[in-house]
Chains A and B, each alone.
Chain A
Amino acid sequence: MTKGEQPTMDPSDSKKPEPIDRTLAGRLVLLAIAMFGFGFLLVPIYDVFCEITGLGGKTNDVAFTVEESVEQDRTVQLGFVTTVNGYAPWEFSAEVEEMAIHPGGIYEATFIATNLTDEFKTAQAVPSVAPSQAAKYFKKLECFCFTTQEFMPGETKEMPVRFIVESDLPDYIDTITLSYTFFDTARQTDTVAAAGLNTH
């Protein structure tokens, strides 16, 4: 079409336009729905990815059984860190702050938690290992973090974790930190809501 010329009504052109291809619109709707599903699929993908690589310091969350030979001539320092989430009324600490271990040996550490309120409480401890490269070699044989713990008003509990650091731990790792964060599970949503309102 030359410049400025109007589209003209040529009789041979005036046939009806082709009907719109509705299958394309349908496919695009399906694509949108599939991508909504993909968003949720990212959740298991993320977990599997972290499990395989040990990223995020995630460790096993079911009991692990293993027979390993102890490497007596190699020592790794293991430190314990304890945190209570969101200023909840708990006391939570490790019995010892640090221990020296040999890869391949089975050890036990004890953590102590006290419910400072006069109410019945449930709590969940979430572990994390740093550096994250060590996470997949840190195997828990038994842990209070596998299940939620119940506390009577004012109760103090000693909670054991039995673990092994596998002997194929890379040589450059000589210090490992095991961290537990203690969450008050029953009041999780309530505390959050209350915190939200209190800020205003």
Chain B
Amino acid sequence: MTSAVMDAHHSEAHHEPAKGIKRWLYATNHKDIGTMYLVLSLVMFLTGGVMALIIRSELFQPGLQFIAPNVFNQMTTMHALVMVFGAVMPAFVGLANWMIPLMIGAPDMALPRMNNWSFWILPFAFLMLVSTFFMPGGAPASGWTMYPPLVLQTGDAFPFLIFSVHLLGISSIMGAINIIVTIVNMRAPDMSLLKMPMFVWTWLITAYLLLAVMPVLAGAVTMLLTDQFFGTSFFLAAGGGDPVMYQHIFWFFGHPEVYILILPAFGVVSEIIPTFARKPLFGHDSMVYAASSIAFLSFIVWAHHMFTVGMPLTGQLFFMFSTMLIAVPTGVKIFNWVATMWRGAMTFETPMLFSLAILFLFTIGGFSGLMLAIVPADIQYHDSYFVVAHFHYVLVPGSVFAIMAAVYYWLPKWTGHMYNEKLGKVHFWLSTVFINVTFFPMHFLGLAGMPRRIPDYSTQFTDFNAIASVGAVGYGLSQLLFVYVVVQCVRGKGEKASSEVWDNPKGLEWTVPSPAPYHTFEVPPKISSSSTFS
């Protein structure tokens, strides 16, 4: 993808998009590809949501009501895989595709054809993954972590699971390469690295994390595949292997993965809060260093997921303290956001409301993470509903809320129309109330000893489970309102948006008209001090 492609783009610059399906199948435009990523993400979010509701219906009461235990296990496994790889990751890649070129003043992504490929792999990978529900033996039911030897008992779905993980990995790696090359090579001439907006920064760091760990996951699942079909013994004790080794390799991927899911969310919040506080982001450079520190630390904390599998005392202490250390750069970020709002002229439009909710609710998830990092406490909390509460607090009101905040924030730029602010706020309040009704009781369930990944439970857990299930149904239904608001905005029902959309926001994306033209920044923009905050 070199000057030839760039030239081709240049000469076609004022062509209209192709008509019909070809526009999407052959898409190389970053805005089209970004849109496709976001639509796929929404579809997968609703798919994974239906699975979550099936789980919560079964758990509404003790005893077995609707589904067999094995189907329940398939639901928890597929819910996680679909939400992590299908909803959150593609949504952030979609936002990166749409916004990074607009934010750094680039005409498109650096490698547009690879961009097309990395998107179009995804629908087929998920088709393959979801098709396992109809195979003999059903879908994977071993948990999304795919621990051997249990995962090797998966029926016919096993190789399909492995290959779909391979495809998702290839797609993520290509997306990451594209983002890094774009950011490094295609910034507007005056945009130095430390002048880049925070969303671009967090994505640059995330892309390096993806490149470092997705291949390790691919390696781990390849070992599972050869153990099952080709007679190797990486994880089979009979042949001299060790199933615990899988957990080490998996979490070497898995822990950086959770920062892959949250760092772009930090970037989104860092864009939105300054706009609605009408102040520059406090401590831009310290935000960059904090995000980099989080990324570095994410590589040396993995074994805190496995305290109970056995580890010498020195290992436990090392992983406990290194995990707690992550609270420091995360605290820097939270502090900077609060300081940004300090004495700001704040208004509370929907994106700001979601960002504020992230500040409160993500921090709750962070604190329960600190509790889980304490080895003696973790031995009590491990594999309980406390863990479920913890990671849903960081993933739903963290990553998912950030994605929704970003959609509300940039939707007028994408469509040229304002969304319905009143309905947006209703959606925010319904989501925030119901997410707490769903997940807060799970803390109590976990502390009282309810294990995760079970379809039935002891009767003393009934009340909190019933409350959580009601919250889940409420949260699920509220998201239909989100779909309605977005669809109405895309159909042009709202008032026309100005190119700035908000009250004097900073950043290059607000210098192009709304909706953003099909081709933008064919000529690199000049950056004046007023268009960026730093």
Which residues of A pack against B, CB within 8 Å? 1-7, 9-10, 13-14, 16-22, 24-25, 28-29, 31-40, 42-43, 46, 50, 53, 55-56, 61, 85, 124, 126, 132-133, 181, 183-185, 188-189, 192, 195-197, 199-200
Contacts and interface: CB of A to CB of B under 8 A. Distances in A.
A17 B152 contact: no
A47 to B, nearest CB: 8
A31 B212 CA distance: 7
Contact of A16 (B6, B217, B228, B242): B6
A6 B513 contact: yes
A29 B510 CA distance: 33
A36 to B, nearest CB: 4
B218 A36 contact: yes
A126 B209 CA distance: 37
A56 B525 contact: no
A112 to B, nearest CB: 19
A146 to B, nearest CB: 11
Contacts of A33: 215
Given A24-B184, A39-B218, A197 B500 contact: no
B1 interface: yes
Contact of B154 (A6, A55, A196): A196
B238 A189 contact: no
Contact of B228 (A42, A53, A189): A189
A200 B70 contact: yes
A39 B525 CA distance: 42
Given A13-B523, A189-B231, 4 more contacts: A3-B531, A6-B511, A42-B216, A199-B153
Nearest to A21: B185
B238 A85 contact: yes
Interface stretch (B245-253, B317-325, B326-334, B455-463): B245-253
Interface string B228-247: 11010010111110101100
Interface of B: 1-3, 5-7, 10, 70, 105, 107, 110-111, 136-138, 149, 152-155, 158, 173, 176-177, 180-181, 184-186, 211-220, 223, 228-229, 231, 234, 236-240, 242, 244-245, 248-249, 252, 310-312, 498-500, 504, 508, 510-513, 521, 523-528, 530-531
A181 B181 CA distance: 51
Nearest to A50: B242
B153 A4 contact: no
A196 B512 contact: no
Given A16-B3, A32-B177, A42-B248, A6 B215 contact: no
Contacts of A6: 511-513
Contacts of A21: 181, 184-185
B107 A126 contact: no
A37 B229 CA distance: 20
Contact of A195 (B153, B512, B528): B153
A195 B151 CA distance: 11
B118 to A, nearest CB: 12
Nearest to A148: B238
A16 B220 CA distance: 44
Given A24-B180, A24-B185, A36-B216, A56 B137 contact: no
A4 B216 contact: no
A184 B312 CA distance: 31
A45 to B, nearest CB: 10
Contacts of B523: 7, 9-10, 13-14
A19 B3 contact: yes
A197 B242 CA distance: 24
Given A1-B527, A3-B500, A53 B511 contact: no
A196 B524 contact: no
A21 B244 CA distance: 42
Nearest to A36: B215
B216 A39 contact: yes
Contacts of A42: 216, 219, 245, 248-249, 252
